[in-house]
Amino acid sequence: MELAKRHLLLGITGGVAAYKAAELSRELQRRGATVQVVMTEAATRFIGPPTFQALTGQPVFTDQWDPRIDNSMAHIELTRRADAIVIVPASADFLAKLAHGLADDLLSTLCLARNCPLLAAPAMNREMWAQAPTQRNVRQLTADGVRLLGPGSGDQACGETGMGRMLEPDELAEDIAAFFTAQRLAGREILITAGPTFEPIDPVRGITNLSSGKMGFAIARACRQAGGQVTLVAGPTMLPTPRGVRRFDVRTARQMHDAVMDRLDGPQARVDVFISVAAVADWRIANASTSKLKKTADGAPPQLQFAQNPDILASVAARPGAPYCVGFAAESEDLERHGQEKRERKGVPLLVANIGHETFGMDDNELLLIDAGGSHRLPRASKTELAASLVNELAARLAHPIARS
């Protein structure tokens, strides 16, 4: 789990977005973190400490003079155990305190006494956010190395709309997890295809496959978490776009091909890595009908003719100055031999084979990495975990390039 063994001190200040911190505390624990909550007095007006006590299984602290901490040294003890302090929500007032080094309650004292990173998720009315003092404090905090998470823009609890809205708990959890992920793909442009394609027979029918897109989306997310700039070209799937990933939706193999080539040929095009995870249809219907096919009186079925689709991966790999290309393959037998053949045929340095064929739609998988040096197994794990391992493998290969074919 990405936040395993991380101990986070979750600081809650006075704002209506405090209720979202309850959901965040669950989400952080779901990702493996332990969470210690400290609240300001104002925060307790919005949500009660027992809620966090129940959700985290830890006592909640609000008072600098809390007798539960020996020697009244709460400000030292609580921070020394933390890998990071995360302030959610961070009110305008609390940002001002942080920017000026004030320490007049437990949470602000903890922030000043910390020897760990500080992250803060601002949440306030749009006018409060836009005011010169707040913007000055934000610049100061950024210069001081405080990591601000958001804010976003949108509907606000006060009924207005604008900048200052706190990020949602799942967005915050993603950003916090990324903060703890080694930025091994920082500065890399990564293009990924994912999901199935859909080849129309007529306006209401078509041929597709069982690819869910889960593996490709998990890889897009892991690349982003590791600091890469990620563009995802996705076939038809209901999956949500991973945070920070640019997404283009396509339907057919030819549309996918064109979307990929556009990314490679654009005026400021730069792609360092191409990861082809999509289950692209090998054939399309050459005589697809523009109107719905009807049953005929003599009962004769329609005669479909197939035409071969372009091989996107092979075309990308064959371009001069091609990005580092990674292919995927679902082979049912003699994985290594067939995988090596396919890798050489497609002209790619790395081919990832699914071990076992019932992986479509599942949440876990087992992979065999095949390159010019041989093969290497990534044991069965969730697609999220496998994606993170694959990013590490990729980063190591980019750092020490081996033969490109």
* Shortest Å distance, C-beta 310 to ligand C5P: 6
DSSP label at 49?
Answer: H
| C-beta of 312 vs 322, nearer to ligand C5P | 312
| C-beta of 33 vs 367, nearer to ligand C5P | 367
The residue with tokens 């654009």 is 266
* Shortest Å distance, C-beta 280 to ligand C5P: 4
DSSP label at 321?
Answer: T
E-strand stretches of 139-272: 147-148, 152-155, 161-165, 189-194, 199-202, 205-207, 229-234, 246-249
* Shortest Å distance, C-beta 104 to ligand C5P: 58
d(CA 314, CA 42): 60
Terminal Cα-to-Cα distance of the chain (whole angstroms): 34
Positive/negative CA dihedral, 341, 347, 348, 352: negative
Give the alpha-carbon dihedral of 227, 230, 235, 237, to 10 degrees.
40
| C-beta of 62 vs 315, nearer to ligand C5P | 315
* Shortest Å distance, C-beta 14 to ligand C5P: 51
| C-beta of 19 vs 283, nearer to ligand C5P | 283
Q: Is 158 a catalytic residue?
A: yes
Q: Hey, what are 224's tokens?
A: 């982003």
d(CA 356, CA 276): 19
Say if residues 328 and 352 touch (Cβ distance below 8 Å). Answer: yes
Q: Using CB under 6 A as the criterion, which residues of the chain lie in contact with ligand C5P when the complex forms?
A: 193, 253, 276, 278, 280, 282, 309, 311-313, 327-329
Catalytic pick from 111, 116, 158, 223?
A: 158
* Shortest Å distance, C-beta 90 to ligand C5P: 43
**Residue 251: CB partners within 8 Å, gap ≥ 6?**
197, 198, 200, 235, 236
| C-beta of 126 vs 214, nearer to ligand C5P | 214
Catalytic positions, written as ranges: 158
